[in-house]
């Protein structure tokens, strides 16, 4: 609690002085512990584990992984170029079963830029063209009357525009216009509630366009859209200090840190968010690689917009692997988690025995092994999510919600949430 007390003191002393979104210095040991959680990911170089956001987060942070970073970027380049361009440059790309999604390609381009490189040459041009085709497909899915929806999400749409922008690649006004319309009319940016991370990503994309003097005919709309998402994010702050929830707060802070707005409200809101984030760190939150990679830049006063002109010579502290001592006589503890699905014609409810510390995903796997329970998941930028439970597939405007019974929505996904002994978790199909 010592660090939390220090932050509360800062909140009281600086809250009336800060007019912009600034972050007071954070204990480097806390930052190092957070960075150490990414080190195991740096050793996972297989296609299914490579994650460009890990590299981006480290490059924009105050810590580094040394030669591991170089090897990781090299592996990213080989994999993404083979998957996206393999058919043109290789006779056999059969081992690449699925080409990277628009979001993954966008993150890859951010990773390249984080190393102070621009994509160039014939291969680079094809990567840029591929991302532009993705955006054109999404634009057509939204439709000229804006009544449709992207095949992926507005989050990935904004991320794609941001990735092109930091590489100094222009995007057509009609592509940018779809995201502007989404912000101006609000409803496409929300499902069952306002989506803070989607709005923040759109704001970062618009901020990059404005700073790069792109899309001059849209400049006034872009400026207004930035202000709109910033105001909505500030209104979405919870009593605890989070913007939306703990995991959307880092991206929200990235946007607010770039804000041309000023005033005591902005400064106080950001300081309050940092207090909440510090408390969450002490409670063991932020195990997900993507979430860590969005938080590390914030703690170093950086944002994705800084990739317009990254500083690759800034000194960074070398990370060392965390050392943990495990008692030799430690006996694994088994807990019981009740899993229930009540929104089906044939309800399911079963107590599932798992080891203490297991994730909700582990609980689902164990329930499947025990029989009588089936589910399917799909990978996403923020981790796997449920697409089908007990044979019931979520429709176009439906999703499987995770709740702590009776009605408390979980703030984490199935890969991150760790149920406690005796807890009841409900999977509920809801519409939006």
Residues of the binding site for cyanocob(III)alamin: 152-156, 197, 245, 294, 385-386, 400-402, 410, 432
Annotated binding site: 152-156, 197, 245, 294, 385-386, 400-402, 410, 432
Strand partners, 337: 352
Q: At what angle do helices 219-235 and 264-282 cross, to 10 degrees?
A: 60
Distance CA 63, CA 42 (A): 14
Query: Nearest-CA neighbor of 168 among 215, 118, 219?
Result: 118
Query: Can you read off the two tokens belonging to residue 384?
Result: 């796997």
Distance CA 319, CA 219 (A): 42
Query: Can you read off the two tokens belonging to residue 33?
Result: 């512990």
The 3-state DSSP class for residue 349 equals strand
Query: Nearest-CA neighbor of 425 among 407, 404, 399, 401?
Result: 404
Helix (H) or strand (E) holding 339: strand 334-341
The 3-state DSSP class for residue 261 equals coil
Distance CA 274, CA 268 (A): 10
Query: Nearest-CA neighbor of 348 among 384, 317, 390?
Result: 390
Angle at 287 between CA 281 and CA 288, to 5 degrees: 125
- In terms of phi and psi (left: phi > 0; alpha: psi -120 to 50; beta: otherwise), the region of 297 is alpha
Per-residue CA distances from 344 to 8, 26, 90, 348, 389 (Å): 47, 48, 49, 8, 10
Contacts of 431 (CB under 8 A, 6+ apart): 395, 397, 398
Give the dihedral of Cα atoms 136, 138, 139, 144; nearest 10 deg. Answer: 140
The label of the residue with tokens 């089936």 reads 374
């Amino acid at each position: 609690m010592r660090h939390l007390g220090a932050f509360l003191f800062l909140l009281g002393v600086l809250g009336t002085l800060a007019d912009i979104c600034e972050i007071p210095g954070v204990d480097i040991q806390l930052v190092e512990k957070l960075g150490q959680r990414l080190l195991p990911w740096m050793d996972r170089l297989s296609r299914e584990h490579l994650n460009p956001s890990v590299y981006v987060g480290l490059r924009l942070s105050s810590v580094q992984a040394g030669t591991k970073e170089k090897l990781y970027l090299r592996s990213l380049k080989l994999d993404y170029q083979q998957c996206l361009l393999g058919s043109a440059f290789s006779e056999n790309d059969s081992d690449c079963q699925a080409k990277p999604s628009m979001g993954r390609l966008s993150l890859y381009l951010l990773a390249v830029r984080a190393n102070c490189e621009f994509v160039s040459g014939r291969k680079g041009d094809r990567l840029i063209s591929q991302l532009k085709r993705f955006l054109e497909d999404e634009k057509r899915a939204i439709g000229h009357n804006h009544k449709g929806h992207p095949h992926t999400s507005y989050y990935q749409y904004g991320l794609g525009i941001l990735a092109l922008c930091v590489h100094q690649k222009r995007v057509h006004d009609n592509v940018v216009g779809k995201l502007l319309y989404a912000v101006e009319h609000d409803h496409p940016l929300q499902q069952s509630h306002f989506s803070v991370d989607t709005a923040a990503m759109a704001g970062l994309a618009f901020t990059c366009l404005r700073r790069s003097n792109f899309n001059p005919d849209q400049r006034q709309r872009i400026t207004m859209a930035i202000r709109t998402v910033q105001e909505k994010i500030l209104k979405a702050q919870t009593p605890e200090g989070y913007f939306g929830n703990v995991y959307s707060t880092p991206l929200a802070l990235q946007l607010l840190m770039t804000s041309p707005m000023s005033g005591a409200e902005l400064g106080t809101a950001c300081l309050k968010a940092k207090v909440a984030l510090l408390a969450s760190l002490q409670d063991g939150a932020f195990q997900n690689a993507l979430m860590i990679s969005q938080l590390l830049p914030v703690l170093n006063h950086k944002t994705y917009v800084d990739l317009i002109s990254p500083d690759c010579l800034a000194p960074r502290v070398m990370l060392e692997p965390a050392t943990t001592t495990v008692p030799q006589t430690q006996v694994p503890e088994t807990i019981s988690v009740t899993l229930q699905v009540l929104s089906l014609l044939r309800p399911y409810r079963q107590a599932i025995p798992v080891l203490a510390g297991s994730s909700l995903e582990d609980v689902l796997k164990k329930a499947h092994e025990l029989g009588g329970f089936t589910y399917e998941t799909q990978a996403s930028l923020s981790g796997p999510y449920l697409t089908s439970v007990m044979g019931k597939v979520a429709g176009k405007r439906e999703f499987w919600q995770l709740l702590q019974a009776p009605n408390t929505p979980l703030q984490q996904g199935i890969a991150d949430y760790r149920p406690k002994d005796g807890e009841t978790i409900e999977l509920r199909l809801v519409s939006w």
